[in-house]
Chains A and B, each alone.
Chain A
Amino acid sequence: MSGHNESILREPLITGDNITYAKITDDILGPVENKPNKAWWIGFTFASLGALLWVVAVSYTFWNGIGAWGLNKTVGWAWDITGFVWWVGIGHAGTLISAVLLLFRQNWRNSINRSAEAMTIFAVICAATYVVSHMGRPWLAYWVLPLPNQFGSLWVNFNSPLVWDMFAISTYFSVSLLFWYTGLLPDIATIRDRAVGTRRKIYSIFSFGWSGSVKTWQRFEAVSLILAGISTPLVLSVHTIVSMDFATSVIPGWHTTIFPPYFVAGAIFSGFAMVLTLLLVARKVLGLENYITMFHIESMNKIIILTGSIVGVAYLTEFFIAWYSGSEYEQYAFINRSTGPYWWAYWMMMTCNVISPQLLWFKKIRLSIRATWILSIVVNIGMWFERFVIIVTSLHRDYIPSSWAMFYPTWVDISVFVGSIGLFFTLFLLFLRVLPSIAIAEVKLLLKTASEQAKMKQIKEGHENKEYVAEYVESLEKFDSVKQEDYAKI
Chain B
Amino acid sequence: MSDIKYILGSFGDPDEMMHGIEKLQENNISIHDVYTPMPIHGIEAKLGIKRSRIDIAAFCFGITGTCCAFALIYFCAVIDWRVNIGGKPSFALPDFIPIMFELTVLFCAFGMVLTYYASTHLFPGRAPRVMDLRATDDRFVIAVDAKDNVEHTVIDGLLKDAGALEIKYNERKYISYE
Contacts and interface: CB of A to CB of B under 8 A. Distances in A.
A178 to B, nearest CB: 5
Given A207-B128, A212-B36, A222-B54, A171 B103 contact: yes
Contacts of A215: 33, 44, 49, 120
Interface stretch (B22-30, B93-101, B146-154): B93-101
Contacts of B117: 208
Contacts of B8: none
A194 to B, nearest CB: 7
B14 to A, nearest CB: 7
Nearest to A174: B106
B77 A175 contact: no
B3 interface: no
Given A194-B137, A208-B126, A221 B39 contact: yes
Contact of B106 (A22, A171, A207): A171
A370 to B, nearest CB: 34
A363 interface: no
B52 A158 contact: no
Looking at A20, A174, A219, the one whose CB has the most chain B CB atoms below 10 A away is A219
A152 B76 CA distance: 12
A152 B80 CA distance: 10
B67 interface: no
Contacts of B34: 213-214
A223 B116 contact: yes
Contacts of A193: 128, 130, 133-137, 176
B124 A208 contact: yes
Interface stretch (A66-74, A229-237, A267-275, A469-477): A229-237
Interface string B116-129: 11011111111111
Contacts of B103: 167, 171
Contacts of B178: 204
Nearest to A444: B38
B134 A214 contact: no
Looking at B38, B76, B103, the one whose CB has the most chain A CB atoms below 10 A away is B38
A287 interface: no
A448 B101 CA distance: 40
Given A159-B92, A171-B103, A211-B35, A146 B134 contact: no
A87 B171 CA distance: 54
Nearest to A151: B81
Contact of A155 (B76, B125, B136): B76
Contacts of A207: 128
A462 B172 CA distance: 49
B108 interface: yes
A11 B54 CA distance: 35
A323 interface: no
A179 B58 CA distance: 14
A479 interface: no
A217 interface: yes
A25 B135 CA distance: 12
A230 B124 contact: no
A169 to B, nearest CB: 9
Contacts of B88: 159
Nearest to B176: A193
A158 B95 contact: yes
Interface in B41-91: 41, 43-44, 47, 49, 52, 54-55, 58, 62, 72-73, 76-77, 80-81, 83, 85-86, 88
B6 to A, nearest CB: 13
B105 A223 contact: no
A106 interface: no
Contacts of B43: 214, 218
A223 B58 CA distance: 9
A167 B98 contact: yes
Given A186-B136, A210-B122, A211-B130, A219 B116 contact: yes
A182 interface: yes
Interface in A213-250: 213-223, 226-227, 230-231, 233-234, 237, 240-241, 244
B85 to A, nearest CB: 5
Looking at A21, A22, A186, A440, the one whose CB has the most chain B CB atoms below 10 A away is A21
A324 to B, nearest CB: 26
Nearest to B62: A230
B39 to A, nearest CB: 4
Looking at A167, A178, A211, the one whose CB has the most chain B CB atoms below 10 A away is A211
A301 interface: no
A154 interface: yes
Contact of A158 (B12, B96, B133): B96
A329 interface: no
Contacts of A216: 120, 122
A442 interface: yes
Interface of A: 2, 20-22, 25, 146, 152-159, 161, 163-164, 167-168, 171, 174-175, 178-179, 182, 185-186, 189-190, 192-194, 204-223, 226-227, 230-231, 233-234, 237, 240-241, 244, 440-442, 444-445, 448
Given A157-B83, A204-B127, 16 more contacts: A158-B73, A158-B96, A159-B88, A171-B103, A182-B116, A186-B37, A193-B134, A205-B125, A211-B129, A212-B37, A214-B34, A215-B120, A217-B36, A219-B119, A223-B54, A233-B105
4 closest Cβ contacts across the A-B interface? A209-B126, A21-B138, A155-B76, A22-B138
5 contacts: A159-B77, A186-B37, A215-B44, A237-B98, A448-B14
Interface of B: 12, 14-15, 33-41, 43-44, 47, 49, 52, 54-55, 58, 62, 72-73, 76-77, 80-81, 83, 85-86, 88, 92, 95-96, 98-99, 101-103, 105-106, 108-110, 112-113, 116-117, 119-130, 133-138, 176, 178
